[in-house]
Amino acid sequence: MKGGLLGEKVRRFSKSRMKLWMLRATTSVLLWTCVVQLVTLGENWGPRVLKGWPSCFSSESVDGSSQGMNLKLPSIRDPPLPVKRVYKNNGYLMVSCNGGLNQMRAAICDMVAIARQLNVTLIVPELDKTSFWADPSDFKDIFDLDNFITSMRDEVRILRELPTRMKKRAEKKMVYSMAPVSWSDISYYQHQILPLIQKYKIVHLNRTDSRLTNNGLPIEIQKLRCRVNFSALRFTPEIENLGRRIVSLLRKSGPFLVLHLRYEMDMLAFSGCNQGCNEEEVKELTSMRYAYPWWKEKVINSDLKRRDGLCPLTPEETALTLRALGIDKTIQIYIAAGGIYGGPRRLKGLADAFPKLVRKETLLDASELKYFQNHSSQMAALDYLVSLESDIFVPTYDGNMAKVVEGHRRYLGFKKTIQLNRRLLVQLIDLYANGSLSWHDFSSAVKEAHADRMGNPKKRLVIRDRPKEEDYFYANPEECLPPSMNIQLGSEQ
């Protein structure tokens, strides 16, 4: 009798536990369904700030307070992940970037757009470690890798490395490697590259600079390039935090100008520009140029190249130009560059005209920079962030950083970027130097020549069949401007 009662109690207890378990399971399913629905509604109907691409750090915070990037707000900085795009994978695209940080940055944007159009899986790009700068940094050392992968998942599948079975094919050299044709439109990739991917399963593009044309592309490709550049390619938290600290230190002393002074040794050796250099320095620069076989131009007439506007301005020419433009001599000038060739001797004229010259090395303690030293791309990333936040940006040469920063500043609201007309400037400087122009006339001519070269809205110049000479997409990504600005641009045509 007691055994029967005990068995009945056990059965009742088991039934109760089963009901409780089913209730919990059902509740969990319902709660999870609600969460998914809320996320979907948030993506479609949520406030604009949740749907916008993450911006650069706020310029409103001048003291590192919670108004800037120091306060991590998941609801703003980390919006809900986009829904994964489902598509039939045509194969795998591996890419090895070449060049410096900003050359690689633009190339990565192009490669994501190409992968999207070809419906292939992109493997996280390999960065250049063999260029002049010999930076050993990997992608994850410079860019926020998780953000890059997850923020683009509604457009293209990106993997950190090849899947195991594909990795075995790669180990057996069953990969087709090539350098795509420069300045190609998307049809080249669809008709020439896609069949190779379908045949070999893995294609490795071993050069990526300037491989996609500036113009004539579908609007969705242009907008995707912008999305990668301005949203997916976010620097690592360590780089962003230190960049914010530099800006905070500068802001404490008022407005500041970033001068991208391209007067480093490698730039002068490569370009053959040696104005102001002594005989020993000219020999050193020439020897360096001959030491790098991939620098094809060896015999260079420096004076002729300068007259054609193809040399970076010297520190002395830069000082004259900034004075002529009416730049306040008390403004802070942050030099975004590597070591200036000739050191303090060549910077003396600029420092005399603008005493508040600073660099990241003078603003920060050595301990704050020690993890970035000997990593040129990481140091360039810091300069990039400070350049975006400056009141004025002035590049002395139209290299990759000058162009990409100019375009990013346009995207951020057409922040003042002075695009120097070097060919005209050197003519005016020479006339002033030999006494043919008074200071008043010299200054007036310089101001007039640059009145419409301040980063203001303009149409991107298109030159059919001459892509190298037309305006670079990343310097003026006009397809990514707000609709009202596009209307303004349209009315100027």
Per-residue pLDDT at 132 exceeds 90: no
Hey, what's the torsion of the CAs at 440, 443, 449, 450, to 10 degrees? -140
Top pLDDT among 32 and 186 is at 186
Coil, strand or helix at 421? coil
DSSP letter assigned to residue 18: H
Question: How confident is the model over 249-289, as pLDDT tens digits?
Answer: 999 999 999 999 999 999 999 999 999 999 999 999 999 99
In the structure, what pLDDT confidence band is assigned to residue 64 with cuts at 50, 70 and 90?
very low
- Yes or no: say if 407 and 475 are a contact pair by the CB < 8 Å rule: yes
Per-residue pLDDT at 13 exceeds 80: no
Please state, in angstroms and as integers, the Cα–Cα distance from residue 412 to each residue in 56, 62, 223, 389, 444, following that order. 9, 18, 15, 10, 30
Please state the rounded mean pLDDT for residues 336-357.
96
Separation between Cα atoms, residue 259 and residue 351, nearest integer Å: 13
Q: Return the domain boundaries, the chain.
A: 92-232, 237-480
Predicted pLDDT of residue 476: 96
Per-residue pLDDT at 15 exceeds 90: no
Q: What is the Cα 181 distance to its own chain's centre? A: 23
Per-residue pLDDT at 46 exceeds 70: no
Please state the rounded mean pLDDT for residues 166-190.
96
| Range in 342-351, 444-453, 484-493 with the lowest mean pLDDT | 484-493
Per-residue pLDDT at 397 exceeds 60: yes
Length of the chain: 493
Predicted pLDDT of residue 36: 43
Separation between Cα atoms, residue 430 and residue 417, nearest integer Å: 25
Which residues 6+ apart lie within 8 Å of 476 measured at CB? 406, 407, 410, 458, 460
In the structure, what pLDDT confidence band is assigned to residue 309 with cuts at 50, 70 and 90?
very high
In the structure, what pLDDT confidence band is assigned to residue 491 with cuts at 50, 70 and 90?
very low
Above pLDDT 70, what percent of the chain?
82
Predicted pLDDT of residue 481: 81
Directed axis angle between helix 376-389 and helix 237-251, to 10°? 50
Question: How confident is the model over 360-372, as pLDDT tens digits?
Answer: 999 999 999 999 9
Predicted pLDDT of residue 134: 81
Question: How confident is the model over 209-233, as pLDDT tens digits?
Answer: 999 999 999 999 999 999 999 999 9
Residue 461 backbone phi and psi in degrees, to 5: -70, 130
Amino acid at position 317, single letter: E
Per-residue pLDDT at 66 exceeds 60: no
Predicted pLDDT of residue 373: 85
- Yes or no: say if 190 and 118 are a contact pair by the CB < 8 Å rule: yes
In the structure, what pLDDT confidence band is assigned to residue 53 with cuts at 50, 70 and 90?
very low
Please state the rounded mean pLDDT for residues 322-344.
96
Separation between Cα atoms, residue 235 and residue 239, nearest integer Å: 6
Please state the rounded mean pLDDT for residues 194-223.
97
Predicted pLDDT of residue 310: 96
Please state the rounded mean pLDDT for residues 173-195.
97
Domain 92-232, CATH 3.40.50 — does that match? yes
Q: What is the Cα 426 distance to its own chain's centre? A: 30
Predicted pLDDT of residue 340: 95
Question: How confident is the model over 72-92, as pLDDT tens digits?
Answer: 444 445 668 899 999 999 999
Per-residue pLDDT at 51 exceeds 70: no
Per-residue pLDDT at 440 exceeds 80: yes
Cα dihedral 274, 257, 476, 339 sign: positive
Separation between Cα atoms, residue 363 and residue 389, nearest integer Å: 16
In the structure, what pLDDT confidence band is assigned to residue 16 with cuts at 50, 70 and 90?
low
What is the 3-state composition of the chain as percent helix, strand, coil, each rounded to the nearest 5? 50, 10, 40
In the structure, what pLDDT confidence band is assigned to residue 485 with cuts at 50, 70 and 90?
low
Please state the rounded mean pLDDT for residues 38-46.
39
Predicted pLDDT of residue 461: 95
- Yes or no: say if 461 and 471 are a contact pair by the CB < 8 Å rule: yes
> What is the reported pTM?
0.82
Q: What is the Cα 42 distance to its own chain's centre? A: 29
Per-residue pLDDT at 492 exceeds 80: no
Please state the rounded mean pLDDT for residues 244-253.
97
Predicted pLDDT of residue 130: 84
Predicted pLDDT of residue 78: 62
Helix ranges restricted to H, 119-172: 139-142, 145-151, 164-171
Strand partners, 257: 333, 392
Predicted pLDDT of residue 179: 97
Please state the rounded mean pLDDT for residues 293-313.
94
Per-residue pLDDT at 18 exceeds 80: no
Q: Cβ atoms within 10 A of the Cβ of 367, count?
A: 7
Per-residue pLDDT at 450 exceeds 70: yes
**CA triple 248-226-310, angle to 5 deg:** 80
